[in-house]
Structures are given as structure tokens and as C-alpha cells.
Amino acid sequence: MLLHVEAVFYFFRHWESGESTIEKRGDDLKRDIKQILHSVMLENKLSKEEIIFLLSDGFSDKRELLTAADRVRKQFMGNAVHLRGIIEFSNYCERNCRYCGLRAANRQLKRYRIEEDEIISTASESVALGYRTVVLQSGEDSFYEADKIAFIVKRLKALPGLAVTLSCGERSAEEYRLWRKAGADRYLLKHETADPALYKQLHPDMTFDNRRRCLYRLREADFQVGSGCMVGLPGQTLEALADDLLLLKELDVEMAGIGPFIPHPRTPLGSAPAGTVEMTLKMLALARLLLPQAHLPATTALGTIDPSAHRKALQAGGNVVMPVITPQRYRNLYEIYPHSTTCQDDNPDYGRRCMGKVIASLGRTVAEGPGHSPKPPFGRMRVVRVKMEG
């Protein structure tokens, strides 16, 4: 992709015209902004300091950042929005993440596992409704030995044209390889936070090192890898958020889920404040600039704190939405955080139709295919230059 020089200069001029921040901080900052944008548009790269600056209050012209991300999304990912249907097949979890309603210590939650046949029939219905990817998600539930999941994956892959994403937590390299061999296309394992000390506080029985190791195991098993983080965790600094983005870049992820932290009343963090829409959108926009060809969902968590946030996320670099297609009688039990009612209804077609309307109102379309990653394989990352026309 060649850079359209005039258009880039137009963009810089346009950027500079947002005088509010610039007036406050003088010429140095003007130069900084130019440099920052220049490097990210030409090299898809930002330093940690630059990221911290763009996330900080000192850089208040967030509109320009979101607009830049929207343009980059349009150039590299097009106007189509991919739908991924999530089947939350077990809410059992052996972990105790301090933010999550599914934590083992939450004994007030009724636990369920969906029978294999019901998982398959749910996926099959979703294919009929037009979904081309299902995401099988659960807590960390060792009831599902590797073979069991592999068997379910094989049955799902027998459905026509369906991509399968697994999201079942940390497992051994062998298990990941088995699932890939069974036909699973993608694996979603959020790193949650890239600050090892904060990670330890939030996950008493886990370590950041192991999380990172698992992500590299997934790479070695040849999955399309999704990771991501929460925004606004208690004790999370701007530096930690910058590290989150730099880790996503290092992993060269095919997908990055970035959503706000939402307090769940039956967890130790129940009275902490939620993450903000504003900071989440800035993180999403920066992820788009750093990873122009990654899939970036408008997360369910974002829709929970602001019903219009799906729209905003799709206009700040997002190109994926993930409606929950779990059979209705289990839905309220998969309560990682208090639920949103955005695009949720008893009718399995409702989520898709409702999101379809949001997507159409933005002049975008629903993608037809499975939406595999357009990126070159891991390790063969190349810089893509941004053309700033239109």
C-alpha cells in the first residue's frame, strides 16, 4: 500500500486544527503530535511514552484519534462487520479472578454445563441465521478433558462453512495442538493486564508469565490468536495500559478484545468504579493504529456500560460484534459481570437482527464469509502504510 503524501499532509493539518490541546502545551507538543502520527501511520509503531501521552488527559483531542482509527479500519478491513456468535457452554470455573462473577468462590451462582447435542443444535441454528463463526466459551472447567472438546470441535466443523473459535482458558501445549488438529480455527485467551504485579493481585492462583507462555503455545499450535485486556481495573496505570497495547503488538494478534472493567457485586472488586467508555475507545483506536489488520470487536462489556457504545466502538476502529447465542435458559447464569440488555432477547434471531440494524445505520454491511484474519502469518509481520484519503 503506498502512502498518499498529500492526503497525509492534509490529515496532519486537519489534526493540528484541533487547537484546544495544542494551545495549552505549545509548539513542542505540536511537533510531538506530528511525529507520533507520522510514525504510527508509516510504521504502525508507537513508543510507550507516545501511547501514554495519547491516553492521558493532556491529549484531550480524542476525536482526532478515533477518526484516524476509523480511517485505518476502513482502508485495511473494509466496511463489513463480522458477527461471531458466542455459546457459553459451561459456567463452572476453578479460578478465582477477583473481578469475575464466575469465580469458584462465588457459591451463590447456579452452575451449568450444556449437553453436547444442545451445543451442536445451537451452532446449527446459528448457521441457519447467517453466523459463520461460533465461539465456544467456558470458565476454566477441567471436567472437559481435551478429547471431549476435540470431539465437539469435530462435530461443529462438520457444519457447512463454520469457523470455530475456542475460549477455554489455560491448557497444555498438547491440548492446544489436539484442538487445532480437530479443526478449531482460532483461540481467544485475553492476557487481561500486562502489568505482572497487578496480574498477580487480580489472579491469586495464576501468573502473568504462564499467561504469556500459553499465548505463545497457541501461536506454536498455529491458531489465529485472540487476546486482549480490561480497561479501568482498580490500580491500573496508563503505563500498564500502554504495556497492554505493546503486548498485543508483540504477539501480533489476529484479534484483540478490549473492554471496560465492570464491577460485579459478588466479587471482591464489587464496589470499585467501572472503566470508562472514553478510555476504552482510546485503547481500541490505538490498537487499530498499531495493528491495522487485526479484528477488533466492539465488546459486550462496552455495550453494558453504554447502550450506544457499540456504535461508538465501530466508529473508533472496531469491525466485529459478538452476539451471545447461548440458549436462553442459561444466559443469566453466565454472569461474568452484571448483564446488559443491549440486543438481547429470547428470540435467537434477535441479536443478529438488532446488531444488523446498528451496522446498517452506520452505512456498513454484515460480512458474509467466516472472517478469517487477513494478516500475514505470525512472524512475517510487515508494515502497512496508511493512505489518508476520503
Among 93, 119, 164, 325, binds ligand SF4 (CB under 6 A): 93
Candidates 98-106, 320-328, 355-363, 377-385 — which segment interacts with ligand SF4 by CB under 6 A? 98-106
C-alpha cell at 204: 491469586
C-alpha cell at 222: 498455529
**Paired strand residues for 259:** 230
Q: How far is the CB of 5 from ligand 5AD (least distance, A)?
A: 41
Q: Which residues bind ligand 5AD (CB under 6 A)?
A: 99-100, 190, 192, 230, 259, 261-262, 264, 301, 336-337
Q: Which residues does 329 contact at the CB level (< 8 Å), separation at least 6?
A: none
C-alpha cell at 328: 436462553
297 touches which of ligand SF4, ligand 5AD, none (CB within 5 to 8 A by kind)? none
139 touches which of ligand SF4, ligand 5AD, none (CB within 5 to 8 A by kind)? ligand SF4
C-alpha cell at 313: 466502538
Distances (CA, A) of 381 to 94, 185, 254, 286, 318: 36, 20, 11, 18, 21
Distances (CA, A) of 212 to 1, 135, 228, 296, 341: 32, 21, 12, 20, 33
Q: How far is the CB of 364 from ligand SF4 (least distance, A)?
A: 31
Candidates 95-103, 277-285, 295-303, 367-375 — which segment interacts with ligand SF4 by CB under 6 A? 95-103
232 touches which of ligand SF4, ligand 5AD, none (CB within 5 to 8 A by kind)? none
88 touches which of ligand 5AD, ligand SF4, none (CB within 5 to 8 A by kind)? none
Output 190 or 312, the one with its CB closest to ligand SF4. 190
Contacts of ligand SF4 in 103-142 (CB under 6 A): 103, 139-140
Contacts of ligand SF4 in 280-339 (CB under 6 A): 336
Give the Cα separation of 266 and 103 in Å (integer): 9
**AA letter at 244:** D
Q: Which residues does 377 contact at the CB level (< 8 Å), separation at least 6?
A: none
Q: Tell me: does residue 228 bind ligand SF4 (CB under 6 A).
A: no
Q: How far is the CB of 97 from ligand 5AD (least distance, A)?
A: 7
Q: Which residues does 30 contact at the CB level (< 8 Å), separation at least 6?
A: 16, 22
Among 51, 65, 66, 97, binds ligand SF4 (CB under 6 A): 97
Give SS3 for 348.
coil
Size of the site for ligand SF4 (CB under 6 A): 10
Q: Among 324, 352, 353, which residue's Cα sits nearest to residue 340?
A: 324
The count of other CB atoms within 10 Å of the CB of residue 382 is 8
Task: List residues binding ligand SF4 (CB under 6 A).
Answer: 93, 95, 97, 100, 102-103, 139-140, 169, 336
